[in-house]
Structure 1
Amino acid sequence: MADGSWIAIDAMGGDEGLATMLAGVAHARRRHESMRFLLVGDEAAIRAGLESHPNLSAASEIVHAPEVVGSSDKPSQAIRRAKTTSMGIAINLVKQGRAAAAVSSGNTGALMAMAKLALRTMPGIDRPALAALLPSLGDNDLVMLDLGANAECDARNLVQFAVMGAAYARTALDLESPRVALLNIGTEELKGIDSVREAAATLRASPHLPMTFTGYIEGDRLSRGQVDVVVCDGFSGNIALKTAEGTARFVADLLKRAFRSSVRSKIGFLISKPATELLRHHLDPNNHNGAVFLGLNGLVVKSHGSANAIGVSNAIQVAAKMVRDDLTRSIASDLAGIEAQAA
């Protein structure tokens, strides 16, 4: 992480409360001593919470926020209170240049709306996209976007998402030329709606981008490790994400039920415990926490609302890595390549 960089933390957001947020920030600090934080929220509560984390106290400042964005608040309501809520103030610290990135576990819709209004989209980007890392059988995780920020997208949006997703994969996964695919109902060239086919044509005609466009991928192949970035509209992406999360919980619960069904099964569980622990670790969303709003003039990371301290720490790690590798600059450079190709 660059010297002098601060990360703004919405300390009041999330289902698990202030204690979990501070524990996560303290864990991130122990992993990387260079990190420094602006903790945004109720000053008295944060100061009391820091008594349990002396190492964090020395690397942080408190920015008081009298209000909190609730989980049920509408984006329009949240925007009107942007100057007084912990979420809005954290985002504005990025806008003001006091923080290099903001991290929040709060209301996703409100975070997206406030971030877009305060930071605006980058030149050449029509809409920001929500991207996250998902588990895969490959050598690395999978970047998928959009996961819900834009329900309807045209071909231009999808191409921009591909550029941003590839830039994010190069940063988050340390890949030189990520394999990028469009989510579709088949792999044949003529399959899919017009916007998907048009986006594919544009990407095929842009061979000099730092990515490898592989064409289409179907939903049942997402986790097979065949690609590094999957691009889709937010409607499809959110359904795919929730389906994958539900399937993971189903498999975990099914295994628990099977192992408890008989004495023989319980003995089998003890024998296979190392393998089941590996599976549990791989499917635990806390180990893949930290969705990113790509395409803004500033870095904002969404931590899962139910994330534990390790999950919060991982979301902060995502933010720090994007700051260090200057993700925004990489996206701008790749977009310039697309525009030059079209000229």
Structure 2
Amino acid sequence: MTLPPLDRIPPQVVSLADYEPLARERMSPGAWAYLEGGAGDEWTLRENVAALARRPLRPRVLRDMAGATTATTLFGLPLAAPILLAPVAFQKLAHLDGERATALAAAALDTIMVVSTQASVPIEEIAAQGPASLWFQLYIQPDRDFTAALIARAERAGYRALVVTVDAPVNGARNREQRAGFALPPGVEAVNLRGMRPLAPSPPDRLLFGTPLLEHAPTWADLGWLRGLTRLPILLKGIVDPDDARRALDAGMNGIIVSNHGGRALDGLPATIDLLAPVVEAVGRAAPVLMDGGIRRGIDVLRALALGADAVLVGRPYVHALAAAGALGVAHMLRILRGELELAMALAGCPTIAAVDASVLAPKS
């Protein structure tokens, strides 16, 4: 039996981690396994968090903090802080209002919500929740005509950028989810994919190679086609190699998101914080570089900024807050994280986002 969402935030909720047990009480075991699980043995899932903790800080003192701010901009969009809400599918698994509640919170806290292709609410309804800055996360579908129509829908609804996930042409081996026997419950589906032409059935003698899903997976050649469909900025999510980052910019992409899919695609990948700096160096100042994976504290945001990220995306923690308390929980979670970032910047002697650089990190032992 699951508990109903909270109608107020308990006073003992003072960090992102405090939302986790509240969320677990309010989600079914299968939904919890889906949200929390990673690929394989979940080493990368754990490493995303552990590697951030291995980055000690080196604060500087007696800095002038007059007029300090966490404000920044991305593609001309003003943000209260460089903290975005990552794309997470099927948010109705966590709360009846699903992505509508998340969009309300993003608008209230002046940040960007990246809406998943596999959202459980129509993208137009999400956009109608308020003046949030919304980006649309896109999986290029085997049905390319349907993909083009989906992009056009996002543009008409007012989405401000496309985030194209490139690191998961197929799902990872999510053993925790498999052991739980997870299946979408009635009333939860990828509503924005209704009407798409289905793939042909896979041959019975094939595992993955030679199946229609892999045969129609996107390639670099699709980026030129994609670039010709829209004037929106396009960011590639799932870039971990500097050469791929350079190739993306050469293909007309406008930004990079360093991501290992939250440890849900290929287990054994390094933590994103350890992959970030080489990609930043490859890109230079030619395009924004963002990072997701393992962000649990304001000091984690500071660490990512110090290594060159322009902003970070948060995933599981905001879904915990959504499950616990709906839009109120997500807004509170963002406020906690921004408050921790302000405190970290103040104690590290960084009055602005632009002032954060590698000097705030101590040498790794």
Bucket of the pairwise TM-score, normalised by the shorter protein: under 0.3
Structure ranking higher in helix proportion = 1
Normalized against structure 1, the TM-score is what? 0.28
TM-score (norm 2): 0.27
